[in-house]
Amino acid sequence: MSKSFLKFTLLGVLSIFMIACTNDEKRSELTVSNIVKKIYFAKTTTTELEEIFGAPQKVVKNSEKVNDTYFLISSGEVTDKLNQLNIYIEASKIDMNDYNKQFDDTEDNPFDSYYQYSSRRSGLKYVRFYIADRVVYDVEYGPITDESIAKKDRYLRQILD
The domains of the chain are located at: 2-160
Residue 160, class by beta-carbon neighbours within 10 Å (0-12 exposed, 13-18 middle, 19+ buried)? Answer: middle
pTM of the model: 0.81
pLDDT tens by residue, the chain, 161 residues: 566 655 555 554 444 544 544 444 444 589 999 999 999 999 999 999 999 999 999 999 999 999 999 999 888 899 999 999 999 999 999 999 998 888 887 777 899 999 999 998 899 999 999 999 999 999 999 999 999 999 999 999 999 97
Return the amino acid letter for 117.
Answer: Y
* Whether the Cβ atoms of residue 121 and residue 30 lie closer than 8 Å to each other: yes
What are φ and ψ of residue 6, in 5° steps? -65, -40
